[in-house]
Amino acid sequence: MTNAAAPAPNPTLLRVTALRKQFGQAEVLKGIDLCVAPGDRIAILGASGSGKSTLLRCLNFMERPSSGRVELGGSVVGTERTMRDGSVQTDYSERELTRVRQRVGMVFQQFNLFPHMTALGNVMEGLVTVQGMARALATTKARAQLARVGLAEKADEYPARLSGGQKQRVAIARALALEPELLLFDEPTSALDPELVGEVLRVIRALADEGRTMLLVTHEVGFAYHFASRVLFIADGVIHEQGTPDEVLKHPRQPRTQAFLARHNEFSF
């Protein structure tokens, strides 16, 4: 019998260090540091334009960070080079980023479904084109994901014939089909009529109960309170305040967090 010690488990799924993002002269993210452990459910709040979507887009590399480091499962994404002036530049290959995007799934406010494909076609798309899965197997997997979000009977409908809540659930099924380690939600309910918000939040709640690791940008402060293991408040391109839902949402210490929450006066626990 060998006595080799098991490798220490890496408790960090995602580690973000000094992440910055500029658009031209405008610096939107000014140094984000964030550690996400498996099972974390992180709610992200902040005023419009504070950079919440930009942060999520940088985490699945729809936007490339201007500088800083993203580590996924203990490996740095991209290849870092130290420049003559001592700064570090990171080169990203599309091939690597395609792999990262399968590990970090994203659900958008506007669903982003392909209008010319059925619900089933939308959920299968990534399995077939990105993962190269055979169509028969992809069909089976996609049907299972649609069933999971309560839409088995809508598999053959086109998005134009689905309600907003159903479209968003198809988008969630599409993200789940790739079996991501981390799920990012960017205001998944804010494009929905109020009566359709609940069905989408229930699906997100069920994913949380399965122990999935998720980052959720939301203005639904009440949902964030019950959903999150940790809450981040973003302002001026940095994490301005963070803590448990009780700390940040009930007893915020920073005046800007207090002012933001006071504006969301529909807030009830």
Which residue ranges make up the site for ligand ATP (CB under 6 A)? Answer: 23, 28, 46, 48-54
To ligand ATP, the closest distance from the beta carbon of 186 in angstroms equals 7
Q: How far apart are CA 164 and CA 144, in angstroms?
A: 21
SS3 call for 229: coil
Minimum gap (Å) between residue 202 Cβ and ligand ATP? 23
In this structure, the number of other CB atoms found within 10 A of the CB of residue 255 comes to 8
Cβ closest to ligand ATP, residue 49 vs residue 211:
49
Closest distance between Mg ion and the C-beta of residue 228, in Å?
18
Q: Does residue 54 interact with Mg ion by CB under 5 A?
A: no
- Coil, helix or strand at residue 139: helix
Nearer to Mg ion, 124 or 172 (CB): 172
Of 53 and 189, which CB lies nearer to ligand ATP in the complex structure? 53
Which of 152, 162, 153 has its CA nearest to residue 192? 162
Element (H, E) at 96: helix 94-103
**Residue span binding Mg ion (CB under 5 A) among the ranges 30-38, 51-59, 137-145, 146-154:** 51-59
Binding residue for Mg ion, selected from 50, 53, 139, 218, defined by CB under 5 A: 53
Residue pair 177/145 in contact by the 8 Å Cβ criterion? yes
Which CB sits closer to ligand ATP, 37 or 239?
Answer: 239
Number of residues that bind Mg ion (CB under 5 A): 1
Contact 192, 122 (CB under 8 A): no
* CB nearer ligand ATP, residue 123 or residue 214: 214
**Can you give the three-state secondary structure of 24-86, one letter per residue?**
CCEEEEEEEEEEECCCCEEEEEECCCCCHHHHHHHHCCCCCCCEEEEEECCEECCEEEECCCC
Q: CB nearest Mg ion: which residue?
A: 53
- 48 interface partner picked from Mg ion, ligand ATP, none, CB below 5 to 8 A per type: ligand ATP
Closest CB to Mg ion among residues 127, 187: 187
Q: In what order do the strands lie in the sheet with 41-46?
A: 104-107, 182-186, 213-217, 41-46, 230-235, 238-243
| Cβ closest to ligand ATP, residue 29 vs residue 196 | 29
Which residues are CB-neighbours of 131 under 8 A, at least 6 positions away?
102, 178
| Contact call for residues 151 and 203 (beta carbons, < 8 A) | no
Beta bridge partners of 27: 22
Q: How far is the CB of 26 from ligand ATP (least distance, A)?
A: 6
State the nearest-atom distance from the C-beta of 188 to ligand ATP, in Å: 12
For residue 180, the partner it binds in ligand ATP, Mg ion, none, with Cβ less than 5 to 8 A by kind, is none
49 binds, among ligand ATP, Mg ion, none (CB under 5 to 8 A by kind): ligand ATP
Residue numbers at the binding site for Mg ion (CB under 5 A): 53
